[in-house]
Amino acid sequence: MRDHQSYQSRLKASEVSGFLLFSPLIFGITLCGLSFLCDQAVVEWVKGHEWISLKSIAGVLSKWGDGPALMVFGCLGLGLASFARSRVACKTLLCMMMAAMISGAIVNPVRLFTGRARPSNTEAIQEWNGLWRGRESLLFNSQYHSFPSGHTGVAFALFGVLLFADRRHGWWALLAAAAIAWSRIYSNAHYLSDVMVGALLGLLSASFVWERIEPRVDRLLRRYF
């Protein structure tokens, strides 16, 4: 009888843990789906609220929030952490950069193959085009690489690692990623759904790196620190 009760308790605990594990993912997917319904409304709102000062801020965030720029900052931070002999900082920065690279490796091929026209693309006849528009290849035409947002995917992967490293205070780091995502919408470079899907993919990449790769990075760094 006790064994049966113990089995039932473990089964219920497993169900609860499974729900807690997948509920944020389901919530994120739901938000991404709903964001498509708001795309045009957000574009129109941005057009009606264009301020020169905010445009300038968005331009700066887009420039320095791109993947290569963030990786340069990460390398500089890693160099300083190594000089300071901080194993925790080195581990965190390495995981941040790995998450950003994984997210970029996922997001960029999707952008190429979906061929979604950017909101600022006035020459586009249709929104979704795939790899071709008639006989014209869109593979290297960045005006058709809107979905999902590369800036957002990399930013949420990079700063998302800080969230999973410190779930109590790491939420603040996502403000930087959210600012970069906002800049892409306000610059009329992406739809709301582009940045929402990019953010989800970035957070999934960050979660994977911290849960699966961080222990190996930690063991490796212990040999040197």
Tens digits of per-residue pLDDT, 67-99? 999 999 999 999 999 999 999 999 999 999 999
B/e letters for 85-100, b = 16+ CB within 10 Å, e = fewer, are: eeeeebbbbbbbbbbb
pLDDT averaged over every residue in the chain: 90
Q: What is the mean pLDDT of each run of 10 residues along the chain (225 residues)?
A: 48 44 87 97 95 96 96 96 95 98 97 95 90 89 96 98 93 96 97 98 97 95 88
Q: How far apart are CA 129 and CA 207, in angstroms?
A: 32
Task: Tell me the per-residue pLDDT of 35-68, one tens digit each, with 9 for 90 and over.
Answer: 999 999 999 999 999 999 999 999 999 999 999 9
If DSSP states are collapsed to H, E and C, what string results for the chain? CHHHHHHHHHHHHHHHHHHHHHHHHHHHHHHHHHHHHHHHHHHHHHHHCCCHHHHHHHHHHHHHCCHHHHHHHHHHHHHHHHHCCCHHHHHHHHHHHHHHHHHHHHHHHHHHHHCECCCCCCCCCCCECCCEECCEECCCCHHHCCCCCHHHHHHHHHHHHHHHHCCCCHHHHHHHHHHHHHHHHHCCCCCHHHHHHHHHHHHHHHHHHHHHHHHHHHHHHCCCC
Percent of the chain at pLDDT exceeding 90 = 81
For residue 16, the model assigns a pLDDT of: 40
Task: Identify the sign of the CA torsion 192, 198, 200, 202.
Answer: negative
For residue 12, the model assigns a pLDDT of: 46
Nearby residues of 189 by Cβ (< 8 Å), 6 or more positions away: 62, 118, 119, 120, 146, 149
What does the block give as tokens for 160? 């998302």
Burial of 28 (0-12, 13-18, 19+ CB in 10 A): middle
Length of the chain, in residues: 225
